[in-house]
Structure 1
């Protein structure tokens, strides 16, 4: 019985990796949830912010160690890694509603 359950879980994991993950957009909570389900979320940044209108906690969806506070470019003219991103939301750590980046 256990071997059948294990093979079922392996097939499900393969399906998620091959079908679901490629269909998710980068830097979205949907992709982060898929990576968490696969056990790969430990490679993601752990910075978060709060959306005041809804009270939702939004987690950064970039890779861990991406953050460079001196490289923030609000105009987006350079390929800066000085901000956190999730879906359409971008933020930096110095706002009062943000939990700073502590990823190694």
Structure 2
């Protein structure tokens, strides 16, 4: 019969890179059971722990699975400034002002 808590914690495998092991140790995670409890969201929130370290853990401990984070939805478009007199009509300026010297290049077709 197995009594809860009688099992020894499993230390992290040597297959993990030293950077990953050190990052986990700084956060107090030193056993495989702690990694399994924190996988994947809490691990990714650890300082200095990113996708490369997560892939290292998956390769060593969970070779049959790979966490794929959800893509962020694009943000809302910023509101256009509105004219205080006209109200909700946005202020839009699509007029291209000629640069110095452009006046000679652009001729009115009706004045020739």
TM-score using structure 2 length: 0.25
Structure ranking higher in helix proportion: 1
The structure with the larger Rg is 2
Structure ranking higher in strand proportion: 1
Highest RCO, 1 vs 2 (Cα 8 Å, sep ≥ 6): 1
TM-score using structure 1 length: 0.26
